């Protein structure tokens, strides 16, 4: 028996949601605890939030529940990815 497409999307979304929350929350916690020398490390969380937004838009597009139309999503996705990359680089550079 093969899993349905909806089931595949659900599992993929759940796995990515958990991973995304970890990448978002852990940098905030270690900055608040003072584990890292610079508060700029919180930019990693901002990068995670940006990639999460992009992932949600793509998931909604694939599931048929478009928040924005496909053309808009594909035009803003490169900007989101660029900003996410810049936030990750700046955050990790602060170490």
In this predicted model, what pLDDT tens digit does every residue of 14-72 receive, in sequence order? Answer: 998 899 999 999 999 999 999 999 999 999 999 999 999 998 898 888 888 888 999 99
DSSP state of 40: G
Domain count, the chain: 1
Q: How far from the centroid of its chain's Cα atoms is residue 82's Cα?
A: 13
The domain in which residue 78 lies consists of 5-93
Identify which of 51, 45, 49, 48 has the alpha carbon closest to the alpha carbon of residue 31: 45
pLDDT bin (cut points 50, 70, 90) of residue 1 is low
pLDDT bin (cut points 50, 70, 90) of residue 10 is confident
Identify which of 20, 67, 18, 68 has the alpha carbon closest to the alpha carbon of residue 46: 20
């Amino acid at each position: 028996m093969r899993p349905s497409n909806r089931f595949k999307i659900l599992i993929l979304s759940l796995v990515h949601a958990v991973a995304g929350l970890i990448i978002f929350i852990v940098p905030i916690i270690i900055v608040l605890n003072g584990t890292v020398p610079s508060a700029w490390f919180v930019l990693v969380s901002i990068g995670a939030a940006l990639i999460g937004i992009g992932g949600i838009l793509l998931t909604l597009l694939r599931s048929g529940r478009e928040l924005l139309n496909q053309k808009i999503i594909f035009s803003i996705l490169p900007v989101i990815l660029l900003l996410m990359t810049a936030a990750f680089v700046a955050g990790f550079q602060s170490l």
